[in-house]
Amino acid sequence: MSPDRNLFRTTSSSTRSAPPDLASSGSSAKARGGSTLISHQYPTVCVWMLDKRALSEARVRAGLSKATEDSFFEIIRSSASRLVRLRHPGVVHVIQALDENKNAMAMVTEPLFASVANAIGMLDNILKVPQELQGMEMGLLEVKHGLLQIAESLDFLHNNACLVHRGISPEAILINSSGPWKLGGFGFAISADQSSTDPSVVQPFHYSGHTMRVSIKNSISSIPELTAPELVRTKAPSFGRSSDIFSFACLAYHLIAKKSLFDCHNNVKMYMNKLTYLSSEAFSSIPPELVADLKRMLSPNEALRSPALDFTGKR
pLDDT of residue 196: 52
**108 three-state secondary structure:** strand
Q: Rg for the chain (alpha carbons), in Å?
A: 19
B/e letters for 160-187, b = 16+ CB within 10 Å, e = fewer, are: ebebbbbbbbbbbbbbbeeeebbbbbbb
| Helical spans, DSSP H, in 45-187 | 52-61, 66-85, 116-119, 140-159
Q: What is the mean pLDDT of residues 131-147?
A: 89
φ, ψ (nearest 5 deg) of residue 237: -65, 150
> Which one-letter DSSP state was computed for residue 44?
E
Q: How far, in Å, are 93, 173, 252 from residue 41 at the CA level?
A: 11, 22, 31
CA 248, 254, 260, 265 torsion-angle sign: positive
What's the whole-number mean pLDDT along residues 251-265? 89
Task: Pick the more confident residue, 97 or 188.
Answer: 97
* pTM of the shown model: 0.81
Residue 115: beta bridge partners? 174
Taking every pair of Cα atoms in the chain, the longest distance, rounded to a whole number of angstroms, is 59
Give the model confidence (pLDDT) of 141-164 as tens digits.
999 999 999 999 999 999 999 999
Neighbours of 260 (CB within 10 A): 15
Confidence class for position 133, pLDDT limits 50, 70, 90: confident
The yes or no reply on domain 8-123+138-312 and CATH 2.40.10.480 is no
> Residue 5: which residues within 8 A CB-CB, separation 6 or more?
none
Percent share of the chain, pLDDT over 70: 73
pLDDT value of position 187: 86
Q: Which amino acid is at 267?
A: N
Q: In this predicted model, which residue has the larger pLDDT, 307 or 182?
A: 182
Sort strands 44-51 and 112-115 into parallel, antiparallel or unpaired: unpaired
Answer for the pair 261, 250: CB distance below 8 angstroms, yes or no: yes
